[in-house]
């Protein structure tokens, strides 16, 4: 009976040691997972900022289509040339 109890205690101790090793190895993975999650969060925030700017630009052009053309200078309009024939007829 004593051998059976010692055998059970050894199995429990072995199980606890295995669990302890598993958790110790998982701690490094957990740290790496946390760092990668933080990086991914930063990348998503940057991407959201880009999407926000794109949507803002599209919305401005959608509701104010002339806003883009207002920013560009209008082409110069040439004045019509004066007709010199009236002056010559008056002199004749």
Residue for token pair 């990086």? 39
Q: What is the pLDDT of residues 28-49, one digit of tens each?
A: 888 889 999 999 999 999 999 9
Rg (CA), the chain: 41
Contact 67, 60 (CB under 8 A): yes
Question: pTM score, two decimals?
Answer: 0.43
52 or 78: which leads in pLDDT: 52
What pLDDT was estimated at residue 58?
82
State the pLDDT at residue 44.
Answer: 97
Give me the residue spans of the domains in the chain. 1-61
pLDDT for 52: 93
Spatial distance between the Cα atoms of 17 and 22, rounded to a whole number of angstroms: 9
Residue of higher predicted confidence among 33 and 70: 33
């Amino acid at each position: 009976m004593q051998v059976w109890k010692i055998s059970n205690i050894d199995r429990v101790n072995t199980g606890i040691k295995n669990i302890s090793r598993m958790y110790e190895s998982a701690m490094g993975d957990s740290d790496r997972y946390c760092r990668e999650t933080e990086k991914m969060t930063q990348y998503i925030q940057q991407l959201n900022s880009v999407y926000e700017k794109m949507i803002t630009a599209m919305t401005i052009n959608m509701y104010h289509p002339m806003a883009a053309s207002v920013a560009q200078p209008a082409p110069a309009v040439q004045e019509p040339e004066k007709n010199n024939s009236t002056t010559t007829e008056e002199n004749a």
